[in-house]
C-alpha cells in the first residue's frame, strides 16, 4: 500500500492539521475546537471555522497509515481483497497531546468533540492527553465530549461548536452548543452489507440481523454509541424510501437546519439520494465521502443521510 506523499493533501483534508498555525483570527478565538478525522468535515469548512482535526490510522497489511495520508484507491482495493482485512487504530497519543497542548500554550480554552468511545479509543486517548497537558498547563481549560456517534452526525456538532466559538462564545456555551446540535442531529445509513460491521465488532444492536442478511436490507442509525437498527425492509429502494420518510416527518415537525449526504465509494448513489432529499426539503444537501476509518466498518457502497433540525 502506498501512502499519499506528505506534500500532497488528501482530498478534503489539510496537508498538516495538528500543530499548524491557525492564522490571525484563529489565534484570537476564545475557544479552540478540536475533533478527529471521522467527523468528515471537509478542508474548506475546517479552514473557515478554524477546526483542528486529529487523524486516526488505517492498518492495511503491515502498514499503519494516517488517514490524512491514505490513498483512497489502495484503501478500497485492500478493503475488498486484502488479507488480513483492514482495521483502524486511534490517533497516536503524542499527536493528540500536541493538538490539545497548542491552544493551552496560547492561552486558549479548548473543546474537543470526538467519535463515540464505543466505536474507537480516540476519546480515551484524548482524556489521557488532556491530563498530560493539564500537568504542564494547570491554568488551561480543556473540555472533552464523547459524541456517541461518528461521521457527519459528529461533524455537524463540531461545526456548530466552532461557529459558536467564532461568534465569541465562552467555553461553557461552546460545549452547550455541541451537545444541543448532537441531540438535534440524526443519521440514517444503508450499508451494502453488514459484514464489515461484523468484522470490526461495531455492530451493536444490529447484531440480531446477522442471521437474516440474505432476506433483508437494513436502515441503520447510531444508538448507545454503536450501530443500531432503525428499520428492516426487503430491498434497497424501500430502504431509501424509509430513510426519506423519516427525514420528511422529522423536518416537518421540527424544521431543518442542516442536511448532508455521505457515501463510501459509490458517489452516484449519493447523488441520487441528494436529489430525492432536495425534493423533500427544497435544499440540495452537500455530498461528502465517508472517511476511510468509517469506511472500514461500513464497507463500500454505503450511503447515509444526516440532518439537524431547528428544534
How many Cα atoms sit within 13 Å of 55 on the Cβ side? 24
Ordered structural domains, the chain, with CATH: 23-183 (3.40.50.10170), 185-308 (3.30.1180.10)
CA 228 to chain centre: 17
* Predicted confidence (pLDDT) per residue in 52-66, tens digit: 999 999 998 888 999
> What percent of the chain is predicted at pLDDT more than 70?
86
Average pLDDT across the chain, whole number:
88
Q: Is the pLDDT of residue 206 over 80?
A: no
pLDDT band at 215 (very low <50, low <70, confident <90, very high): low
Weakest mean pLDDT among 10-19, 81-90, 95-104, 260-269:
10-19
pLDDT band at 272 (very low <50, low <70, confident <90, very high): very high
Q: Is the pLDDT of residue 140 over 80?
A: yes
* Predicted confidence (pLDDT) per residue in 113-134, tens digit: 999 999 999 999 999 999 999 9
pLDDT band at 83 (very low <50, low <70, confident <90, very high): confident
pLDDT of amino acid 204: 53
Query: How many H helices and E strands in the chain?
Result: 11, 13
Cell of 199: 468484522
Q: Is the pLDDT of residue 20 over 70?
A: no
pLDDT band at 203 (very low <50, low <70, confident <90, very high): low
Strand, helix or coil for residue 189: strand
* Angstrom distance (rounded) from CA 133 to CA 167: 26
Q: Is the pLDDT of residue 81 over 70?
A: yes
pLDDT of amino acid 8: 34
Cell of 272: 441520487
pLDDT of amino acid 200: 58
Amino acid at each position: 500500500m502506498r501512502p499519499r506523499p506528505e506534500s500532497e493533501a488528501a482530498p478534503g483534508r489539510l496537508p498538516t492539521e495538528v500543530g499548524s498555525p491557525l492564522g490571525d483570527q484563529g489565534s484570537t478565538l476564545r475557544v479552540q475546537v478540536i475533533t478527529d478525522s471521522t467527523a468528515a468535515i471537509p478542508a474548506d469548512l475546517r479552514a473557515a471555522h478554524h477546526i483542528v482535526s486529529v487523524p486516526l490510522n488505517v492498518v492495511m497489511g503491515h502498514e499503519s497509515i494516517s488517514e490524512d495520508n491514505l490513498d483512497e484507491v489502495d484503501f478500497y482495493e485492500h478493503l475488498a481483497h486484502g488479507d488480513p482485512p483492514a482495521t483502524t487504530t486511534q490517533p497516536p497519543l503524542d499527536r493528540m497531546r500536541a493538538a490539545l497542548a497548542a491552544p493551552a500554550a496560547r492561552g486558549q480554552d479548548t473543546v474537543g468533540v470526538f467519535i463515540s468511545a464505543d466505536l474507537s479509543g480516540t476519546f480515551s486517548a484524548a482524556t489521557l492527553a488532556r491530563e498530560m497537558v493539564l500537568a504542564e498547563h494547570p491554568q488551561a481549560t480543556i473540555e472533552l465530549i464523547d459524541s456517541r456517534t461518528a461521521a457527519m452526525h459528529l461533524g455537524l456538532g463540531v461545526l456548530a461548536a466552532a461557529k459558536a466559538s467564532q461568534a465569541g462564545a465562552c467555553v461553557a456555551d461552546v460545549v452547550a452548543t455541541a451537545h444541543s446540535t448532537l441531540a438535534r442531529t440524526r443519521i440514517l445509513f444503508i450499508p451494502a452489507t453488514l459484514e464489515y460491521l461484523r468484522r470490526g465488532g461495531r455492530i451493536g444492536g444490529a447484531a440480531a440481523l446477522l442471521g437474516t442478511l440474505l432476506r433483508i436490507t437494513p436502515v441503520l442509525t447510531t444508538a448507545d454509541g454503536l450501530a443500531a437498527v432503525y428499520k428492516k425492509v426487503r430491498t434497497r429502494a424501500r430502504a431509501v424510501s424509509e430513510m426519506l420518510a423519516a427525514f420528511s416527518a422529522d423536518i416537518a415537525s421540527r424544521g431543518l437546519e442542516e442536511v448532508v449526504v455521505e457515501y463510501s465509494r459509490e458517489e452516484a448513489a449519493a447523488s441520487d439520494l441528494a436529489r430525492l432529499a432536495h425534493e423533500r426539503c427544497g435544499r440540495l444537501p452537500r455530498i461528502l465521502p465517508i472517511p476511510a476509518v468509517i469506511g472500514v466498518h461500513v464497507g463500500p457502497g454505503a450511503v447515509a443521510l444526516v440532518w439537524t433540525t431547528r428544534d
